[in-house]
């Protein structure tokens, strides 16, 4: 009995030592696979987010990273999808709410059948604007517009382009 009591009381784990062995400072606080999040306002769907892998960090900077693909649907007031934003990588700064998407970025307005392609887009949720200072190509049924830099709304229903060049197709 004394032997068993000695074994029982000698097995004490120091939590600080366990944390040093089992965690890395650069590992995420939370990891989600096949993430699907819906944001609503007054019962109406505003935004729908899909991500293959989402990792949330608190240190050194509070952020969420979307790896291996990200898709965002923006909705019209009637519940239909107005536009879709896709990329291979995304990142949300939890402090500011700003979102950065990179790598094969595509913003598509469903109704107008126009698509913006670039390598990086910045989405300011508070100002409700999407912008880039990188090369962009916009394709629609009647034109191709390219340039450096662009600003638009999440629904991609209006836009401003900086340093644009265009090819406009005229129907006979």
69 is a domain residue: yes
Instruction: Specify the number of domains making up the chain.
Output: 1
Task: Kindly report, residue by residue over 157-171, the tens digit of the pLDDT.
Answer: 888 988 888 766 666
114 is a domain residue: yes
Contact 123, 101 (CB under 8 A): yes
96 is a domain residue: yes
57 is a domain residue: yes
CA distance 114 to 140: 4
Contact 106, 121 (CB under 8 A): no
R_g over Cα of the chain: 23
Task: Kindly report, residue by residue over 34-52, the tens digit of the pLDDT.
Answer: 999 998 888 888 899 999 9
8 is a domain residue: no
CATH of the domain at 80: 2.60.450.10
Residues forming a β-bridge with 129: 124
CA distance 166 to 163: 10
> Residue 154: is its pLDDT beyond 70?
yes
Residue-range definition of the domain harbouring residue 111 = 28-134+152-157
Task: Kindly report, residue by residue over 70-111, the tens digit of the pLDDT.
Answer: 999 999 999 999 999 999 999 999 888 899 999 999 999 999
CA distance 131 to 45: 23
5 is a domain residue: no
59 is a domain residue: yes
| Collapsed DSSP state (helix, strand, coil) of residue 149 | strand
99 is a domain residue: yes
> Going along 6-62, which residue ranges are E strands?
30-41, 44-57
């Amino acid at each position: 009995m004394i032997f068993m009591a000695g074994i029982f009381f000698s097995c004490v784990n120091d939590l600080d030592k366990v944390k040093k062995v089992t965690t890395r400072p650069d590992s995420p606080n939370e990891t989600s696979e096949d993430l699907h999040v819906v944001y609503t306002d007054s019962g109406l769907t505003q935004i729908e987010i899909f991500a293959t892998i989402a990792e949330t960090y608190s240190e050194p900077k509070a952020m969420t990273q979307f790896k291996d693909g990200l898709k965002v649907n923006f909705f019209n007031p009637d519940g239909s999808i107005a536009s879709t934003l896709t990329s291979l990588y995304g990142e949300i700064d939890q402090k500011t709410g700003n979102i950065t998407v990179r790598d094969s970025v595509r913003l598509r307005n469903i109704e107008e059948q126009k698509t913006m392609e670039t390598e990086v887009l910045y989405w300011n949720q508070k100002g409700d604007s999407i912008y880039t200072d990188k090369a962009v190509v916009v394709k629609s049924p009647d034109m191709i517009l390219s340039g450096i830099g662009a600003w638009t709304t999440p629904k991609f229903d209006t836009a401003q382009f900086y340093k644009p060049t265009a090819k406009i197709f005229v129907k006979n």
